[in-house]
Chain A
């Protein structure tokens, strides 16, 4: 029972560490993300006075290859060359996907921490008293 208690506390600690670690990981990805508009650049852009044809809507992406960036709009949206991404096999990571995944990890780690914590307490009590029974307080 003591071994079970130790294992449960170790797993509780790992789940707690995972839960806490999601905060700096999320912040790190958020700090690397930019509001990005993917654009298709062709010879026609100059003719029609554009900086490229938008491919989809602007979104928060994490793209670390600086050579993919080809400029910015007046309102600060970074323009990224779609052809460069394709040629270099870069599938742009979206911040919302990272946040959703981290959300799932938090839920899983929270549930794991709760369960392993409960098992750890019960196993510790069992090891100490030899019983899982929760005794009612004695009156008077």
Chain B
């Protein structure tokens, strides 16, 4: 009898440990339209927003311990501002040089739970071949696999991650040419709003 109780307790403990293990969420595996990366420039003359849904990556997250990490890659070549000529300029060698540096990558180095769904995230942002340490707040929301997650087009558990990074362009060797000064902000907001799913 004691052996039976011990076995059940051991099994329960193993299951608890297993359920507390971090899960790996694949970003970009589901509907591409659900992923969003935006670059926002605010000046006195105008605001403009560049956006793409070509965002991929991997997020490791443990909902029980609220610990995690992740890497997100944005296809810089596909960022569109709604004006073709501006997009051409933005991709050119003088700006983002997307031929040589086609992606923007963010990899976390430290994630600290603050409260609720809010986390403090530290990481490395690589843009135009330059990597800098950045720090920001992120919201991470987890949904267990259910009929609702399936109806939304996801397979398995789902995690939504939202964060905004303030990016000083000069830190990443992006110089604003004289004709564009005043129309492009020296510091832009890079916002990531991504979904990851555990299913393939």
**Chain A residues with a Cβ under 8 A of chain B:** 38, 40, 42-44, 46-48, 53-57, 59, 82, 86, 91, 94, 96-97, 100
**30 A-B contacts (beta carbon < 8 Å):** A38-B49, A40-B33, A42-B31, A42-B152, A43-B31, A43-B152, A43-B153, A44-B34, A44-B154, A44-B160, A44-B195, A46-B148, A46-B152, A47-B143, A47-B151, A47-B152, A47-B154, A53-B193, A56-B38, A56-B40, A56-B47, A57-B40, A57-B42, A91-B82, A94-B47, A96-B45, A96-B47, A97-B46, A100-B44, A100-B45
Q: In the complex, which residues of chain A have a beta carbon less than 8 angstroms from the beta carbon of B34?
A: 42-44
CB nearest neighbor in A for B40: A56
Q: Is B83 an interface residue (CB 8 A)?
A: yes
Q: In the complex, which residues of chain B have a beta carbon less than 8 angstroms from the beta carbon of A43?
A: 31, 34, 151-153
A-B Cβ contacts below 8 A, count: 64
Q: In the complex, which residues of chain A have a beta carbon less than 8 angstroms from the beta carbon of B71?
A: none
Q: Is B98 an interface residue (CB 8 A)?
A: no
Bound-state CA distance A91–B83 (Å) is 8
Decide: A96 near B40, CB < 8 A? Known: A42-B31, A47-B158.
Answer: no
- CB–CB A56/B49 < 8 A: yes
- CB–CB B152/A100 < 8 A: no
**Chain B residues with a Cβ under 8 A of chain A:** 31, 33-34, 36, 38, 40, 42, 44-47, 49, 51, 82-83, 141, 143, 148-149, 151-154, 158, 160, 189, 191, 193, 195
Interchain CB contact (< 8 A) of B44 among A38, A59, A91, A96: A96
CB nearest neighbor in A for B83: A91
Bound-state CA distance A55–B34 (Å) is 12
- CB–CB A42/B33 < 8 A: yes
3 closest cross-chain pairs (CB), A and B: A56-B49, A43-B152, A47-B152
Bound-state CA distance A46–B38 (Å) is 22
Given A56-B40, A57-B42, 10 new contacts (CB under 8 A): A38-B49, A40-B36, A42-B34, A42-B152, A44-B152, A44-B153, A47-B154, A55-B38, A57-B189, A100-B45
Q: In the complex, which residues of chain A have a beta carbon less than 8 angstroms from the beta carbon of B154?
A: 44, 47
Decide: A59 near B38, CB < 8 A? Known: A46-B152, A47-B143, A48-B143.
Answer: no
CB nearest neighbor in B for A89: B82
Bound-state CA distance A10–B31 (Å) is 62
**Closest CB in chain B relative to A15 CB, distance in Å:** 23
Q: In the complex, which residues of chain B have a beta carbon less than 8 angstroms from the beta carbon of A100?
A: 44-46
Bound-state CA distance A82–B193 (Å) is 15
CB nearest neighbor in A for B33: A42
